[in-house]
Amino acid sequence: MAPGGNRGWLLRLVIAFSFAQGAVSMARPAVSYRALALGADERAIGVIAGVYALLPLFAAVPLGRRTDHGRCAPLLPVGVVLISGGCAMSGLADTLWAMAVWSGVMGLGHLCFVIGAQSLVARQSAPHEQDRNFGHFTIGASLGQLVGPIAAGALIGGRDMAGTSALALVVAGAGGAVALTSLWRIESRTTAKSREEQGGRVAVRRILRARGVPAGIFISLAVLSATDILTAYLPVVGEHRGIAPSVIGLLLSLRAAATIACRLVLTPLLRLLGRTTLLTVTCLLAALLCAGIALPVPVWALALMLAVLGFCLGVGQPLSMTTVVQAAPEGARSTALALRLTGNRLGQVAAPASAGLVAGVAGAAAPFLMLAALLLLSAGVAVRTPKRPGGPGTDTTERPKRPGLRRTSEI
pLDDT at 249: 81
Q: Measured on CA atoms in the order 37, 39, 41, 43, is the torsion positive or negative? A: negative
Burial of 331 (0-12, 13-18, 19+ CB in 10 A): middle
Which residues neighbour 88 within 8 Å (Cβ) at sequence distance 6 or greater?
A: 169, 170, 172, 173, 174
pLDDT at 339: 83
Express each pLDDT in 245-254 by its tens digit: 888 888 888 8
- Rounded mean pLDDT of 213-226? 85
pLDDT at 386: 59
- Rounded mean pLDDT of 286-290? 91
CATH of segment(s) 9-393? 1.20.1250.20
First-last CA distance in the chain: 26
pLDDT at 170: 93
pLDDT at 191: 45
* Percent of the chain with pLDDT strictly greater than 90: 15
Exposed e or buried b for every residue in 351-381, given b needs 16+ CB within 10 A? bbbbbbbbbbeeebbbbbbbbbebbbebbeb
Q: Is pLDDT of 86 > 70?
A: yes
Cβ–Cβ < 8 Å for 148, 24: yes
pLDDT at 403: 34
Q: Is pLDDT of 124 > 90?
A: no
pLDDT at 288: 92
| pTM of the predicted model as reported, rounded to 2 decimal places | 0.71
Express each pLDDT in 89-101 by its tens digit: 998 988 889 999 9
Predicted confidence band at 360 (pLDDT cuts at 50, 70, 90)?
low
Q: Of all helices (H) and strands (E), which one includes residue 212? A: none
Mean pLDDT, the chain, integer: 78
Q: Is pLDDT of 195 > 80?
A: no
Return the domain boundaries, the chain: 9-393
Express each pLDDT in 293-348 by its tens digit: 888 888 999 999 999 999 998 888 888 888 787 777 776 777 788 888 888 777 76
pLDDT at 404: 35
Cβ–Cβ < 8 Å for 262, 254: no
**Which of 356 and 374 is assigned the larger pLDDT?**
374
* Range from 7-16, 248-257, 393-402 carrying the lowest mean pLDDT: 393-402
Q: Is pLDDT of 397 > 50?
A: no
**Which of 341 and 42 is assigned the larger pLDDT?**
341
pLDDT at 43: 78
Among 196, 352, 382, 356, smallest CA distance to 286 is for 382
Please count the residues of the chain: 411
